[in-house]
Amino acid sequence: MNQSAGERGGPLRRAVARRRLRAATAPDRLGRTARRLRPAIEGKGAVRVGRGVVLAAGPVQSHLIVQGGAELNIGADVYIGFGAAISCHERITIGEGTRIGAYAAIMDTDFHVAGDTRSTPPPGPVHIGRDVRIGVDVVVLRGTTVGDGAVIEPGSVVWGTIPAGARVAGIPRRSSSVDRREATAR
């Protein structure tokens, strides 16, 4: 049986990643640990988790689904809010220091073609850069690349390429500003 580089040591790596994610919890405003719910982590794909990751699972459970052969890479010091859903069928990468709000959804597949529920489109990898801020109820669709330091306002639906330092909002997303440091560096 051939194993790709991402699958070597797969079961042990998945077990370590799942243990880190399930142990993650966040204190409430008073510094107490909230009621501990466990996030739902499913699938047989490769999951890599950096140190200091917080996956909030209460009051609403978060879901991570990684299909066989897929790769989910979460960098160090990432915060994922409660009720978030990440569905990985090919590859999703979340950079270090990124903050993802509650009820956000990140997916690298459309699950089916519009008008034909039996047909499955190819997945498109999602790359989220370092120190990105993703608001509450944001949906990140397949094939999206978010540059370092970008901010996605709450309730937005994003796809395509979002430049580093950009601030986007809405459905469809519209640029509201670009960080001045980034604009002068161009």
CATH architecture under which domain 33-185 falls: 3 Solenoid (2.160)
Tokens 């709450």, residue? Answer: 154
Here the tokens at position 109 are 């597949």
Handedness of CA 26, 28, 34, 38 (dihedral sign): negative
Under 8 Å between Cβ of 58 and 82: yes
pTM score > 0.85 for this model? no
- Token duo for residue 81: 């809010």
pLDDT tens per residue across all 186 residues of the chain:
444 444 445 666 666 666 666 555 454 444 444 445 788 888 889 999 999 999 888 788 899 999 989 999 999 999 999 999 999 999 999 999 999 999 999 999 887 667 777 777 788 999 999 999 999 999 999 999 999 999 999 999 999 999 999 999 988 665 665 544 443 333
Instruction: For residue 10, give the H/E element and its range.
Output: helix 10-23
